Amino acid sequence: MADPILQIKGLEVAVEGRTILKGVDLEVPQGEIHALMGPNGSGKSTLAYALAGHPRYEVTGGSVVFDGKDLLDMDIDERAKAGFFLAMQYPVEVPGVSVLNFLRTSLNSIRGDELSPREFMKLFQEKSKLLEFDASFTDRYLNEGFSGGEKKRHEILQMAMLEPRFAVLDETDSGLDVDALKVVSRGVNSLRGPNLGSLIITHYTRILQYITPDVVHVMFEGRIARTGGPELADELEAGGYAQYGSPEPAVAPSA
């Protein structure tokens, strides 16, 4: 087994004085895709934003080691440059900043040097084709007027271009129809390999029908309640979260 690129031990996180994570232990080896499932309010997104360094999420205990370094001691931009990537559940709109300028600036910042315009456009066109991202969007402001599916495709396009070492996908399937979900999943699967570790955070099992995880974790009441193989997702699809004290299903209502 590969060494874990992400090692979380006893992580405790509070939001506005309320403790949400109550001692999370989680490891993800490089090259593996792990799924983190759980009912609403269990702490899944709190974990994502705490790892990304969102100032609203206060780490009150525990440790996070990323690629051998203390992730919690890094500034947000340092985490990105070290290879940490977060695909947000609700991508923000940035008026005045075009998609193309955002991607070029982000890529040059992460790389520490500047690609020539020709090299950048070649990479952009290659990755855009993979994600079926319409080239007409390049001059539009970031996420402004985008549909839910277009926003999520752009998140994965960022991931494809930046080539992070570890990616957290926070409910990337949220709000997607089946066609958009298939495109996004195909993009994630195309990036799968020995140089990328991933944590897919989801409430429902449907994205896992297209992206097969190596390991599935169940979070409940701020802790990892159970860890298993891909079959654990099938178990949740059949029985929901009842055994963890929640009546919520693990299958989307439209499924």
SS3 content of the chain, % helix, strand, coil (to 5): 40, 30, 35
Give the tens place of pLDDT for each residue, 21-71.
999 999 999 999 999 999 989 999 999 999 999 999 999 999 999 999 999
Compute the distance between CA of residue 20 and CA of residue 11 in angstroms, rounded to an integer: 10
Q: What is the mean pLDDT of residues 144-150?
A: 84
Q: Is 76 part of a structural domain of the chain?
A: yes
Q: Which domain holds residue 61?
A: 4-92+164-244
Tracing tokens 């277009």 back to the chain, one arrives at 150
Give me the amino acid identity at 165. Answer: R
**Length in residues, the chain:** 255
What pLDDT, on a 0 to 100 scale, did the predictor assign at position 250? 83
For the segment 2-9, the average pLDDT, to the nearest whole number, is 88
d(CA 223, CA 81): 29
Euclidean distance between CA atoms 227 and 250, whole angstroms: 16
The number of folded domains in the chain is 1
- Distance of alpha carbon 251 from alpha carbon 169, whole angstroms: 18
Does the residue 117 lie in any domain? no
Contact 64, 7 (CB under 8 A): yes
- Answer whether residue 214 is part of any domain: yes
Answer yes or no: is 52 within a domain: yes
- pLDDT interval class at 255 (50, 70, 90): very low
pLDDT of residue 2: 57
Q: Report if residue 77 sits inside a domain.
A: yes
Residue at 103 is within a domain = no
% of the chain at pLDDT higher than 70:
98
Contacting residues for 74 by C-beta, under 8 A, at least 6 apart: 53, 66, 82
| Percent of the chain surpassing pLDDT 90 | 62
Q: Kindly state whether residue 136 falls inside one of the protein's structural domains.
A: no
Q: Which domain CATH number covers 173?
A: 3.40.50.300
pLDDT above 80 for 1: no
User: And the tokens for 225?
Assistant: 């309640």
Tell me what pLDDT residue 253 has.
Answer: 67
Count helices and strands in the chain by DSSP H and E runs: 7, 12
pLDDT digits (tens, 9 = 90+) for 57-114: 999 999 999 999 999 999 999 999 999 999 988 888 788 889 889 999 999 998 888 8
Is residue 121 assigned to a domain? no
Higher pLDDT, 144 or 137: 144
Mean pLDDT for the stretch of residues 116-121: 91
pLDDT number for residue 149: 81
Please state, rounded to an integer, the average pLDDT across all residues of the chain.
91
Average pLDDT over residues 166-187: 90
Question: What are 45's two structure tokens?
Answer: 């997104």
CA–CA distance, 23 with 229 (Å, rounded to integer): 22
- Residue 223 — pLDDT band, cuts 50, 70, 90? very high
